[in-house]
Each structure stands twice: as structure tokens, then as C-alpha cells.
Amino acid sequence: MDNEVTQTGVEMEQRSSRRGLIAAGVGGAALSLLPFLSGRADAADTTTTATPTTQGTTTTSTPPKRPTDSDIALLAAAQKAEFTAQALYGLAINRVKGWTTEQATVMTTLSGSHQAYANAFSGMLGRVAPNVADETILGKFDSTFTGSTDDVLKAAATLESALVATHLDILGQLQGVNGATQIAAIVTAEARHVTVLRDLAGSTTLSDLLVDTEAASLLGNG
Amino acid sequence: MNESISTTDAASFGRRGLFRIGGLTVTAAALMAACGKNPAGEVGRVGDGPTTPTLPGATVDNSVYLRTMASIETSIALAYDRMVKSGVLAKASSTLPNLGDQTDMVKAFAEHHRTAADSFNALAVKAGATAWTCGNPHLDDVFLTPIFDRVEKGAVATDVAKAIEPSEDATRDMINLVVTLENLSSESCQALVGLVTEAQYRAKPMKFGVRSARQAALAALKVAPGAYVAPTDASAAQPGVTTTTEAATTTTAAPKGSTAPPPPTEIPLPVAIPSTFGGLAPITYIGGHGDENGVRLKLNFETPSLNSFIYAYATCK
């Protein structure tokens, strides 16, 4: 405090040079950081233009995650096919008599699964989801979902095989990753449906149970 | 009071002079760091140790995924060949008395996996890589070989554990391994869909995944006839109905006060449709004879990842 009271013009000048020195010091420090900062900037530029991987960068471009415009039409068709399957199972469960407990359990479970698949597509598509069954496919399969329980099980297996073919068809055309992974999760489960339904219907041959011949795709039939 | 009698020059040097010197030092250091070119010299060496090896670049791209899939399918086919050659699948199973001879089924499965491996290799070549005709080293070394060893030979005694006998039911363990490997193949194909960057590499692999999923379902039905859906799905579909798909308990504790050896780890029965959606969860395999505490070999199979990828620099042994 005494110093400030008694400071002279010389001291004022010294204080000015002191501020200058501090400023120079800060400036120098900033300069010394330049190479480091420029290196970081270079690194940032490199990483933002490449797909991050474990130890290097991939040489391929990253596909879109969300469905593209063309994907939306394909996923909408897939959803309609799932709603159709759910409707056909519902019709068969109600109008065919003589289901065993085991058969009824499988039919009800698979019906619920198709509802879940349709709901999953609905979640992905949002307001553009059709949320209805495909009347053309429904009409095509409706007459086969009648008769004895074994007849219906075989018809359901054919439908499931057609759904597998449809989803594989769609998978080959989808660009967005989210839609593709969803289709993959559904098609592996529906593949099992065919084997289960044919086993339940009494089939014993490997070619039949493992579906050596897949049904035709339903894409474009709706 | 002391300050008031001190000279102005002395006070200035003591504080301001230090600031001045400090500022100059920082500035000089900054300038030298920014402008100086001082290449780092080699660190002095003592002795004759080996130099640090440089790891090859591990780029993960479509060809790596496809080569890895080819390796997985090859490993599975080779495992089935080993089962068929040993004749274990033709033997009766004490745990699964209705299983029957599944040799032909597993032979057909092996053929599918060989076809799948060829197809994955063709896609890998299309993606710019070389074909991978061996099995997957990680899958072979960490999973398949230990399982075969434990089932066929048991384990030798160590300082801390007694010897373990060969499996009391090798047929059961091998057919359960078939179910596990089919599920692994299916899951791996499903996982591949989300990894590859081009649509052309999704549909064809998934066709093999579909077939593997069906083979998994069929093998599960051979092990547990009538186990069509998971117990939770069955009870949701038909409330109050008890099905044959109830999962086994996994109690390993010995009865209280008993001198009998503890019961071995129970092996859950597989289910043809384990879940509504195809999952990517680890697949648990339990097999082999129980150790002195009744604990069997337990491994979790997972879809390919960093430690099981077949990178571009890898070569078949």
C-alpha cells in the first residue's frame, strides 16, 4: 500500500513495462502452443472425414442409418405383409376347430410375433407407416388357411417361407442400416417358424424341414 | 515501516525485476519451442534386447467381415467333420434316449457350412481380399478345441484341482454343440448385416443365416421334441398351460448334510424359436463332465468381433 502511495513517474513507467512483459509472456506461450494446436487441428480434420475404426480407417463410405425414400416404400410393403400374416393367423385360429394345446400355443405365439414385427416397422416408419394388411396377399392366402389343422400348419409354413423370401428380397435393396438390421432380426426368426410349423404338421424329411426350395417373394404382389 | 525506509531501486528489483526475468524466460522458451528444430535422438541402449515390433495396420472393412464369416463357417464344418468321423453322433445318449442317430443330419449341416464358406470367400474376393480357407483361429483355439478336449479326454489334475473325467454323455454334448454352432452361424450372419457398408453384401450372407437358423431350430427339436417356443412365450399364448419347454434349473449345490458329490451343472434344453426377434446375445454352451464341485465347462459363444476378425495381414496356418 505504501508503495502505491509513494510511487513515482519512473515506477509508473516500470509498471507499464511490467504489463507489457506479461502480455509478451502470454503471447509467447500462445506461440509456443501453435505447433501443438496446429497438429491437433490436422488430426481433427483427418478423423472427421473417415469412418472411425479400431486402429485405422476404413476405405469404404458409411451407409445412411435412417431409411432413404426408396427404403420407406420397401419397409412399408414389409409392414403390410406382416399385418397380413397376423390377420391370416387370427382367421385360422378362430375358424378352424380341433387345435391341440401345442398347436394353439404355436399359432398364437406366431400371430403375436407378426404383430410385433409390424409394430417394429411402424416405429421405424412413423406417420408414413401404412398400418394395414395387404388385401391382395390376404386374398391369395385366405383360401389356404382353412381345412384341417395340419392343412393350416402347412399353409402357414408356406406363408412364412414367402415372408422370408420377401424380406431377403427387400434386404438386397435397402440402403439404410437401421431398416436392414431390423429386417435381419425378423427374417432369422421367421426362418425358424417354417421349420417349426412343418415339424408340427408331421413332416420328417430334411429337405422339407430345412426348406430347400423357398417360396416366391411377395414383393410386388401387393 | 521497513518498506518506507527501503530505497525505491531495491524494491523495484525485488518484485518487478523478477516479473521481468520471468516474462523474458517464458517468451524465450516459447520462441525456442516454436521455432527450434531439434530432432529426437535415439535413446541409448544397454544390452542386446530385441527391438519393439511394429504391428501391421488392422483396417476393418467389408472384406475383413466376409473373410471372418468364411472362417467361422469353415470352423463349424470342420467341427462337424470331427464329430462325424468319431462316430459319437451314432451312439446312444443316456440323457437323451430318444435322440437317435443324427449323423446324416450333421453331415448335411456341414455341407451347408462349406457352401457358405465358399460363398463368403467369393464375396471377399469381390471386395478386394484374398480367400480365407482355414477355420477361425480364435473360435478354434478358445472354444472348439477346449470343448472337444473336455468332452473326449476330460482334464488332467493340477496343483489346485482334481482330474476331470471325459464326458459321461459325449453324444449329448456334441448335439448340444451342434445347436450352439448353428445359432452362432445364424447370429453372425445377422450381425454382418449391420456391419457391411454395401447392400450387395447383406442379402446373400443372410440367406445362409436363414438356413443356419432353420438348422438350429431342427437340431433343437431333435434334442427337445416339442420345444417349439420359449416358456415365457408359451405361457403368454396359453395362460395356465405347462409345456415341455420349461427350462431346466441350474442348481449346483449339494443337499445340506449330504456326503454325496454335488450334482453336476444342469444343461438347459434348447428351444426352436427362442425369441420373437432374432437376437445377437451370447450363446451359452454347457458340457463335459463336472469337476469335483460338479461344475461343467461353460462357454459363451459370441458373434465375431475385434479378436476374431480375419484381418488383411493374417494368413492361413
Q: How confident is the model at residue A148 (pLDDT cuts 50, 70, 90)?
A: very high
SS3 for B283? Answer: strand
User: Residue B255: pLDDT band by 50, 70, 90 thresholds?
Assistant: low
Instruction: List, for residues B213-249, the tens digit of each pLDDT value.
Output: 999 999 999 999 999 998 888 888 776 554 444 444 4
CB atoms within 10 A of CB B129: 21
- Closest A-chain CA to B305: A54
In chain B, how long is the greatest CA-to-CA distance? 111
> Which of B200, B210, B243 lies closest to A164 in CB terms?
B210
Cβ contact, residue pair B199, A168, below 8 Å: no
User: Over 60: is that where the pLDDT of A43 sits?
Assistant: no
The whole-chain average pLDDT of chain B stands at: 87
- The DSSP element (H or E) to which B299 belongs, if any, is strand B297-301
Cell 409390424 identifies what position? A118
State the Cα–Cα distance between residues A21 and A16, nearest whole angstrom: 9
Listed range (A14-28, B61-75, B279-293) with the worst mean pLDDT: A14-28
In whole angstroms, what is the distance from residue B276 CA to residue B230 CA?
Answer: 9
The grid cell for A202 is: 408331421
* Inter-chain CB pairs, A–B, below 8 Å: 218
CB B212 within 8 A of CB B185: yes
Q: Could you give the CA distance from residue A134 to residue A163 in angstroms, rounded to a whole number?
A: 13
What's the burial of A131, exposed, middle or buried (CB within 10 Å: 0-12/13-18/19+)? middle
Report the residue of B27, B64, B271 to disrupt the A interface, i.e. the one with the largest count of A CBs within 10 Å: B27
CA dihedral defined by B223, B228, B234, B240, rounded to 10 degrees?
-60
Per-residue pLDDT tens over the stretch B146-195: 999 999 999 999 999 999 999 999 999 999 999 999 999 999 999 999 99
| pLDDT value at A1 more than 80 | no
Chain B interface disruption, residue of A13, A58, A121, A188, most B CBs within 10 A: A188
Separation CA A164–CA A191 (nearest Å): 6
The pLDDT of residue B263: 80
Question: What average pLDDT does the segment A101-121 reach?
Answer: 96
Band (B60; pLDDT cuts 50, 70, 90): very high
Average pLDDT estimate for B19-25: 83
pLDDT of residue A210: 97
Tell if the CB–CB gap between B199 and A104 is shorter than 8 Å: no
Global pTM reads: 0.78
Q: Which residues contact B64 (CB under 8 A, 6 or more apart)?
A: B129, B309, B310, B311, B312
Is the pLDDT at A63 greater than 50? The verdict is: yes
Q: What is the ipTM of this complex?
A: 0.79
**What was the pLDDT predicted at A60?**
56
H/E segment holding residue B33: helix B18-35
Pairing relationship of beta strands B297-301 and B283-287 according to DSSP bridges: antiparallel
Q: Does B217 contact A at CB distance below 8 Å?
A: yes
Q: Is pLDDT above 70 for B69?
A: yes
Q: Nearest CA to B130 among B316, B271, B299, B2?
A: B316
Look up residue B43 and give its amino acid: V
The C-alpha cell that represents A133 in the structure block: 394388411
* Structure confidence at residue B260 (pLDDT): 73
pLDDT in tens, A161-220: 999 999 999 999 999 999 999 999 999 999 999 999 999 999 999 999 999 999 999 987
Radius of gyration of chain A (CA): 33
Predicted confidence (pLDDT) per residue in B262-307, tens digit:
788 889 999 999 999 999 999 999 999 999 999 999 999 999 999 9
| Secondary structure percentages of chain B, helix, strand, coil, to 5 | 50, 5, 45
What domains appear along chain B, each with residue ranges and CATH number?
Answer: 62-246+263-301 (1.20.1260.10)
Q: What is the distance between the alpha carbons of residues A5 and B299, in angstroms, rounded to a whole number?
A: 82
**Amino acid in the structure at residue B228:** Y
Q: Which residue matches cell numbers 426352436? A: B272
CA-nearest of A110, A94, A163, A154 to A134 is A163
* Lowest mean pLDDT segment, chosen from A74-83, B8-17, B55-64, B75-84: B8-17
Residue B177: all three cell numbers together: 454343440
pLDDT number for residue B242: 47
Burial grade of A95 (CB within 10 A; 0-12, 13-18, 19 or more): exposed
Q: What is the mean pLDDT of residues B115-127?
A: 96
CB contact under 8 A, A206 and B108: yes
Flag whether residue B16 sits within 8 Å of chain A, measured between CB atoms: yes
pLDDT confidence of residue A9: 44
Provide the pLDDT for residue A28: 52
> Å from B6 to nearest chain A CA?
10
DSSP output for A53-67 = -SSSB-SSPPPPSS-
Gap between the Cα atoms of B266 and B248, Å rounded: 7
Buried b (16+ CB within 10 A) or exposed e, B195-230: bbbebebbbbbbbbbbbbbbbbbbbbbbbbeebbbb
Q: What is the pLDDT of residue B316?
A: 87
Q: Which of A75, A100, A195 to mutate to test the interface with B (most CBs of B within 10 A)?
A: A195
pLDDT at A3: 42
State chain A's mean pLDDT as an integer. 81
CATH number of A69-209: 1.20.1260.10
Distance from C-alpha of B304 to C-alpha of B189, rounded to nearest angstrom: 10
Q: How far is residue B254 CA from its own chain's centroid?
A: 32
- Residue A121 is predicted with a pLDDT of 97
Model confidence at A8, pLDDT cuts 50, 70, 90, reads: very low
Question: Residue A137 in contact with residue A218, Cβ under 8 Å?
Answer: yes
Per-residue confidence (pLDDT) for residue A46, from 0 to 100: 31
| d(C-alpha B80, C-alpha A205), whole Å | 20
